[in-house]
């Protein structure tokens, strides 16, 4: 008798050997072995109520579609990794908040051709916090901090230094996202901000900001 699994994957140890008596049927049937599917693989995680509301409001505002209807990307990081280098997509969101934990269960599906991910592993999951938008990127070294206020120095008329208050966001491509306070026409001082102050006149050297391929949160 040949028994075939309806799925492909990795087989565990066998619980019976040739010559043993087994029983079939829906109840009290003999367990032969277990099989886990590896490629693709499911990743289960939970989101707290505040995060659920955050993503729901973005869907209502039209800035980011709900993962119930869209396969939004997710990024994974294993416990021995620094970067979120594994990409998957949303596959399922539960229909209610767990009253015991105050969280909602979700699931992503991830391609796993090299079988690096194994069932039972723990991973960190990162999701997009909002929909795509246009933003300016500058090096962190160009940003100064005065107590809780972030600022940069820009060049005005006659290369006179001006201090500009900004609001920053996450790191993207190795550079800091600037949410407000700068325009694309602004000339930002990116080196030596400790040696300048507002109102002085400088002789700038134009340079190009280099980006990296790293995607961080």
Please give the residue range of the domain that contains residue 76.
Answer: 41-127
Residue 206 lies in a domain: no
Same domain, 63 and 85: yes
Q: Are 103 and 97 in contact (CB under 8 A)?
A: yes
Domain C-terminal end among 127, 147, 166: 127
For residue 80, the domain's CATH number is 2.40.30.170
Q: What are the pLDDT digits (tens) for 68-111?
A: 888 889 999 999 988 888 999 999 999 999 999 999 999 999 99
55 φ/ψ sector (left φ>0, alpha ψ -120 to 50, else beta): alpha
Structural domain total, the chain: 2
Task: Please check whether residue 10 lies inside any domain of the structure.
Answer: no
Helical H runs in 26-165? 49-61
- 111, part of any domain: yes
Q: pLDDT by residue (tens digit) across 149-165?
A: 999 999 988 889 999 99
**Phi and psi dihedrals of 210, rounded to 5?**
-95, 140
């Amino acid at each position: 008798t040949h028994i075939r699994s309806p799925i492909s994957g990795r087989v565990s140890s066998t619980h019976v050997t040739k010559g043993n008596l087994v029983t079939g049927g829906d109840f009290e049937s003999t367990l032969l072995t277990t099989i886990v599917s590896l490629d693709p693989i499911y990743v289960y995680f939970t989101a707290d109520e505040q995060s659920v509301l955050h993503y729901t409001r973005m869907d209502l505002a039209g800035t980011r579609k709900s993962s119930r209807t869209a396969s939004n990307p997710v990024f994974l990081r294993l416990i021995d990794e620094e970067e979120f280098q594994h990409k998957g997509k949303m596959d399922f969101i539960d229909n209610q908040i767990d009253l015991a934990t105050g969280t909602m269960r979700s699931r992503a599906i991830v391609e796993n051709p090299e079988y690096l991910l194994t069932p039972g592993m723990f991973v960190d999951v990162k999701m997009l916090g909002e929909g795509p938008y246009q933003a300016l990127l500058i090096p962190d070294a160009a940003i100064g901090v005065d107590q809780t206020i972030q600022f940069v120095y820009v060049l005005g008329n006659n290369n006179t230094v001006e201090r500009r208050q900004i609001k920053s966001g996450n790191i993207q491509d190795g550079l800091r996202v600037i949410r407000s306070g700068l325009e694309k026409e602004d000339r930002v001082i990116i080196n030596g901000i400790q040696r300048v102050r507002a109102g002085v006149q400088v002789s700038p050297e134009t340079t190009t900001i280099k980006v990296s391929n790293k995607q961080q949160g």
